[in-house]
Structure 1
């Protein structure tokens, strides 16, 4: 017999007060437009439905919305203090040799100068060398091509963070 109720983490998310849900979504993605689209579609019947809504919202981000989302991500190799999500996701750089970290700083700066925003990659499960190699490869992209890759990477990151959100005990009480 199959249950029609959503999994516990999703049920908790669906039941959050709007302000608490908005704050939780902002931790996933800094784009207000993305968060508002996901809020407007609550409640979700399944995690798959939530991920599909996230993918659709990511696809609809305007250039300004995408910039806002990117502003919420620190450069690879330099997670913000007190940002456990970025530190966890960038774990592949944590034990990297000093030479690799220095090369990543230089490449990040060159990338940011070329494209006007932080290099974004779904770093989960990638080594420092893999991230460096991807950065080296992508720095030669056209701005249009890179914008689409960034949108894809953001979508991957958002899905991972949403999955983690559904697994965590949400501290905020429902309203």
Structure 2
């Protein structure tokens, strides 16, 4: 995510195409970005976060896949991607055995659900992430889709807060 100064007013004054581009840095679902952008202007930060929640709730299964495509696999932050590295800071310096377990658990999850394991990793250790992955693996597809939706909302909230706090 770029660190351009943004306020609610500057975002609201941004033309639609540019605003959607900025929002796509928060969440890679084009439908999410268009839905949040269409809700401008936002009266305050809470209104922007409410727009996020409403947009995430409206995403189809295909839209959720678009959103997840913008996220690195847990345990493998994208090199050079400050957002990915910051969000997965809890895996830095972890024992190789834990990383190997994460890789195996990720592979099993992806084989079952057909997408990356999405979790709000901010502030969580590798051991916590591994435990959550194992806890969620038994879910059925419908249950997991709702968990993913809530995790996406939390991630987007953090990213939107950060977008506003870079000003």
Question: C-alpha deviations, 1:68-119, integer Å up to 9, x for none?
Answer: 1011111011111232111101100112111111110111111000000000
Gaps of 5+ in 1: 1-7, 170-175
Find the counterpart in structure 2 of residue 137 from structure 1: 135
Find the counterpart in structure 1 of residue 3 from structure 2: none
What TM-score do the two structures reach when normalised by structure 1?
Answer: 0.89
Find the counterpart in structure 1 of residue 47 from structure 2: 49
Which 4+ stretches in 1 moved above 3 angstroms? Answer: none
Structure showing greater Rg: 1
Q: 1:23 to 1:82 in 2, by over 3 A?
A: farther
1:11: Cα distance to partner?
1.7
1:42: Cα distance to partner?
1.1
The number of aligned residues is: 162
Gaps of 5+ in 2: 1-5
**What CA distance in whole angstroms lies between the structure 1 residues aligned with 2:120 and 2:96?**
22
Contact between 1:13 and 1:166, CA under 8 Å: does it hold in 2? no
Match of 1:85 among 83, 86, 90: 83
Q: CA RMSD in A?
A: 1.1
Q: How does 1:98-109 map to 2 (within 5 A)?
A: 98-109=96-107
**Worse-matched range after superposition: 17-26 or 103-112:** 17-26
